[in-house]
Chains A and B, each alone.
Chain A
Amino acid sequence: MDLLIDTVQSIADGVLFGATYALLGIGFTLVFGVMHKLNLSYAAASIGAAYASLLILTGIKAPPPLVFLLPAICGGFIGGMVYLIAFRFIPLATPLATLMSTVGLLLLIDEIIVHTTAGVPLAYPALFSDVIIQAGPFYLRGDLMFVFVLGCLCMVLLLLLLYRTKLGLATRAVSQQPTAAELCGISIRRVNGLTFVITGVVGGIAGAMTGAAIGMLSPLLSLPLTVKGLIVTVIGGLGSIPGAIIAGLLVGGLENLFQFFRGVSERDLYVMLLLFVFLVFCPGGLFAPSAGRD
């Protein structure tokens, strides 16, 4: 009976935390969908946005919603900067150039965080951290539930933005047929830049959610979250937002399950194996976009 309870509890904890992976996956997948480029600095920028908001919040006493609004604003700004530095002036026809520039930015953002904070972990405010929802032998953390709900809300808003607004239409047009979109008068650079700002906003919220879920921020988070974000993007299907959502929750749940059954030393091994299984047997991921691109 204990085994069953622990199994279910492990999956539940993992799925709730997986909402942060899902948001990170969305960021990776949105940029890839629009530009067919990987932005490897995304997770570091997300953590950077949460740090930036924390530094601002140390100076002012802010109400709880601002704790999540401020990282979103910081994330949008950092996202725009990432576009300017790593994409805008670099020849997009050379895929390796932008890939390497984002790797450089990943390291740069990480070092900026480290030099600003001396690498010291900082406490991050968590909402509903003292709320525990007890259901028989199971319990659900209030802060993780909040993170999960906020993550779902962000996903819905993002989907509405993409499918119910002119900007979303332009983004999808550039994603599917960039040349045709340009012929229709859509500025590809503007759409690309805005995509980075939007993904930055999402990333800022993801960074804040991660900080809130852990209760702390540390530069240690950037690299593991980058890896998790990429795994989620591949498993979900490059360019697919629903895929990133499902894959984020899936990876979160399975990761905890692997840890429960095989221990922490083998946990990441099985997550990587899962990635290889997808790459070999289902390279398009769970929801490979069917639309072509010129």
Chain B
Amino acid sequence: MLKIFAAVAASLAVMAASAIGTPASAQDRTVKITGFGAKSGVVRVFGVNSEAALKAAAEEINKAGGVTLGDGAKAKLTIEFLDDRCNAEEGISVVRRIASTDAFVAVGPTCSNVAESLFGILQKKVGDASDTGLQFPIIADVAAKGGLAKISEWSFRNVPSEFEMYKSLFAWLKTQHPTLKTIYGGVEKDFAHSNATFGVMKAQAEANGLQIVGQSEWLLADTTFSTQIREMKRANPDIVAISAHPFTTCGALKEMERQGVKPKLLIGLTSSSSIETLQGCAKQAEGIIIPTSFAPVTPEAKKAAEQVAKFGGSADLHSAAAYEIVYILKDVIESQKIMAKPDTVAADRVKMREGLAALKDTKGLLGKVGRTSDREAIKPFLYVHAKDGSWQVLYKPAS
């Protein structure tokens, strides 16, 4: 009996000794940040870039010592990235899976249609006992359709406001090109982001005295644009604004070149200020002006672009947002004294939500990023134009 007691006591002593936190074991603590977005399908590049940006930022933070938890321990950040295939059902499934773990926040998604559905399953108002929605904070890096964070008090975004960007761009164009009077639009009709932004472009063009002389529509996978560009040619506009992603933007631009449509000015969709457009049609896109919330123009942005490239991604306005988010999360973890322990998950989620909601501004790669009461970001931006096969800064509006 004594032998058994001694053995049990010895075992307990060993277990207790191993449970006592030594400085070395505290160093080994990790905080997992889970990102999710499209990593398959035709928008895979967005997921690839977001994952690379999250990992790049996490590595930098870890090299600088990691993140300080609520109990004073230092922890390293690890990044996991899950694929939602840009599909609303898969997005919801992925987030439910993340929420069933110890995670206290998730970063994503890529697509606005996923964000719209996903934010809909979150609890609308914090503290509403009658609402059984998921109580889990999510901060979006890419999904760009306007006003999505309003859907739930648990949803946040660090995406630029396209309304502000195009409002500023058209006002600037009015001062720079007062002789331009007419505008013609081209829109990818079956893509939520393109459609929504096209509405913004049209409204801002009209608000700045431009006459809309027509619009052409096409679909995301369309291959011929001759009919649409003929209509455009007939309208003979001063400005052509294309709200479409690179594949059809390039298709339309190539057809414009064939039919000899040469507007005095070209305007593009934010998402087209990417390497994809230059790979597809650098020559035809020459001169196109696009507002964007990222360009490697500050030391921080240059460094971020290099870091993201190391992880196999490309820094653009979307992935730069993911990069910034990791720093935002680090700050909130530290300010809210998040414990990151299995038994504090529910409390950590509430703290994370409160911390994100309380932010008045954050540090961005191009400067200070404001936060609105409806959990959106007011990001600094600039206008880039395609020149000699690369994106170059055309103008930086005063913040």
Interface positions of A (Cβ within 8 A of B): 2, 6, 9-10, 13-14, 17, 111, 114-115, 118-123, 129, 132, 139, 141, 210, 213-216, 218-221, 223-224, 256, 259-260, 263-265
Contact = CB atoms under 8 A, between A and B. Distances in A.
Contacts of A256: 224, 226-227
Interface in B174-226: 189, 217-224, 226
Interface string B233-275: 0100000000000110011001000110000000000000001
Given A114-B44, A263-B217, A214 B279 contact: no
Q: How large is the interface on B (under 10, 10 to 19, 20 to 34, 35 or more residues)?
A: 20 to 34
B217 A264 contact: yes
Contacts of A220: 42, 220-221, 247
B41 interface: yes
A2 B275 CA distance: 39
A213 B220 CA distance: 17
A118 B45 contact: yes
Nearest to A215: B254
10 contacts: A2-B234, A9-B226, A17-B224, A119-B43, A120-B275, A215-B251, A215-B280, A216-B250, A264-B217, A265-B217
Nearest to B246: A121
Nearest to B223: A214
Contacts of A223: 221
A13 B41 contact: no
A105 to B, nearest CB: 16
Contacts of B279: 120-123
B223 A10 contact: no
Nearest to B220: A220
A123 B280 contact: yes
Interface string B36-77: 000011111100100000000000000000000000000000
Q: Which of A123, A139, A214 has the most CB of B within 10 A?
A: A214
Interface of B: 40-45, 48, 189, 217-224, 226-228, 230, 234, 246-247, 250-251, 254, 258-259, 275-276, 279-281
Contacts of B220: 220
Contacts of B224: 13-14, 17, 213-214, 256
Contact of A260 (B43, B45, B227, B259): B227
A119 B42 contact: yes
A200 B141 CA distance: 42
B51 to A, nearest CB: 11
A10 B223 CA distance: 14
Contacts of A210: 223
Contacts of B221: 218, 220-221, 223-224
A247 to B, nearest CB: 18
Nearest to B216: A264
Nearest to B187: A264
Nearest to A257: B227
A273 B216 CA distance: 24
Given A2-B234, A215-B280, A260-B227, 18 more contacts: A6-B230, A17-B224, A115-B40, A118-B48, A120-B275, A121-B246, A123-B279, A213-B224, A215-B281, A216-B247, A218-B221, A220-B221, A223-B221, A256-B226, A256-B227, A263-B217, A264-B218, A264-B219
Contacts of A215: 250-251, 254, 280-281
Nearest to B274: A120
A224 B281 CA distance: 22
A129 B255 CA distance: 10
B280 A121 contact: yes
Contacts of B230: 6, 9
A120 B45 contact: yes
Contact of B276 (A121, A213, A263): A121
A122 B42 CA distance: 12
B247 A118 contact: no
Nearest to B43: A119
Nearest to B86: A119
B284 to A, nearest CB: 9
A141 B230 CA distance: 13
B223 A213 contact: yes
B258 A218 contact: no
Nearest to A261: B227
B227 A17 contact: no
B147 to A, nearest CB: 25
Contacts of A115: 40, 44
10 smallest A-B Cβ distances: which pairs?
A119-B44, A118-B45, A220-B221, A121-B247, A119-B42, A13-B226, A218-B247, A214-B223, A264-B217, A215-B254
Contacts of A118: 44-45, 48
A214 to B, nearest CB: 5
Contacts of A129: 254, 258
Contacts of A213: 223-224
Contacts of B275: 120
Contacts of B234: 2
Contact of A265 (B42, B189, B259): B189
Nearest to B48: A118
Given A10-B226, A215-B250, A265-B189, A119 B45 contact: yes
A35 B189 CA distance: 40
Nearest to B226: A13
Contacts of B250: 121, 123, 215-216
A13 B259 CA distance: 13
B87 to A, nearest CB: 14
B287 to A, nearest CB: 18
B276 A114 contact: no
Given A122-B279, A123-B281, A264-B189, A218 B222 contact: no
Contacts of A263: 217
Contacts of B258: 129, 132, 141
Nearest to A6: B230
